[in-house]
Chain A
Amino acid sequence: MAAGPMKMRASLGTGFTDVRVLMTHPMETGLRKDADGKVVPQHFIQNLTVKLNGKTVLDAQISQAVSRNPVFSFRLKGGAKGDKIEVSWLDNHGESAAIETVVA
């Protein structure tokens, strides 16, 4: 499966901004067999980056043990309307995707 859509929601809490991001990705472990008994090759997101107004605030490295169609929630310090949040990922096949949203 190729990279599908992403979705992100940012909401202002008290003293922080809640960020929730959904991404379409199979997160194949390389251990699973398909219906024909063939091993499905490893295919998973390895890096995740969160930027706030262009500056990296969170770098993550993840493994194939993160569930399919990953959902992550983060919290950013403070936050105000108009803040630009960008989340991007890179997988072990070199595919990548990104999404950005503005805090409303």
Chain B
Amino acid sequence: MNRIRRALLAALVFAIARPLAALAAWNKEAFSAKTPGEALKSLGIGDAAPAKDLHIEAPEIAENGAVVPIEISSAIPGTTALIVLLEKNPFPLTARFDFKEGALPFVKLNVKMAETADVRVLAEAGGKYYFAKQEIKITVGGCGG
């Protein structure tokens, strides 16, 4: 198995330890926060205004908390970051995307949710913050055992 993986790695992937190490910034404090409020504080975010131009596309019911697809996009001019918080997870802050010139403020990803909860998305634009929310219900599926 390892040999195959290595072969595949050689074919598809090249090691890039050098450039990545330089930008390996990961906000440990914010990602370790146990409530959405603490996480936002660690990110230096105070007030956020509700925004209609910030879109969350997600199913209202997910059959499985291990894979919950979420698509987020912002039509707020000058959006430079999108932040995803899963309000009832043990560590709510789930992702922060910083968009530079050349990328549109759009991301689709799959997340894990411990239970039915709100997904809160924040957008940063021109130094101000905006938010949108959606509840996603998590159900039990299939046969027991």
User: Are B94 and A66 closer than 8 Å at their CB atoms?
Assistant: yes
User: Are A96 and B86 closer than 8 Å at their CB atoms?
Assistant: no
Residue in A closest to B11 when the chains form the complex, CB atoms: A5
Q: How far is the CA of A29 from the CA of B8 in the complex (A)?
A: 26
B interface, CB within 8 angstroms of A: 2, 5, 8-9, 12-17, 19-21, 23-27, 31, 66-68, 71, 86, 89-91, 93-104, 106-113
Q: Mark A69-104, 1 if CB is under 8 A from B, else 0.
A: 011111111000000000010100010111100000
- 1-34 of chain A: CB within 8 A of chain B: 2-7, 16, 29, 31
Q: How far is the CA of A4 from the CA of B12 in the complex (A)?
A: 10
Q: How far is the CA of A56 from the CA of B100 in the complex (A)?
A: 7
Cβ of A68 to closest chain B Cβ, rounded Å: 7
User: Are A63 and B95 closer than 8 Å at their CB atoms?
Assistant: yes
Main secondary structure of the interface of B (DSSP, over half): mixed
Beyond A66-B94, A67-B67, A98-B13, whether A74 also contacts B102 by CB under 8 A is no
User: Are A77 and B26 closer than 8 Å at their CB atoms?
Assistant: no
Q: How far is the CA of A60 from the CA of B94 in the complex (A)?
A: 11
**Residues of B with C-beta under 8 A to A65:** 86, 89, 91, 94, 111-113
User: Are B100 and A6 closer than 8 Å at their CB atoms?
Assistant: no
Cβ of A52 to closest chain B Cβ, rounded Å: 5
User: Are B16 and A74 closer than 8 Å at their CB atoms?
Assistant: no
Q: How far is the CA of A61 from the CA of B85 in the complex (A)?
A: 13
Instruction: Offer 18 A-B interface pairs, CB within 8 angstroms, sorted by A.
Output: A3-B9, A5-B8, A46-B24, A47-B23, A56-B23, A57-B101, A60-B97, A61-B27, A63-B93, A63-B94, A65-B91, A71-B108, A71-B110, A72-B107, A75-B104, A75-B106, A88-B16, A96-B15
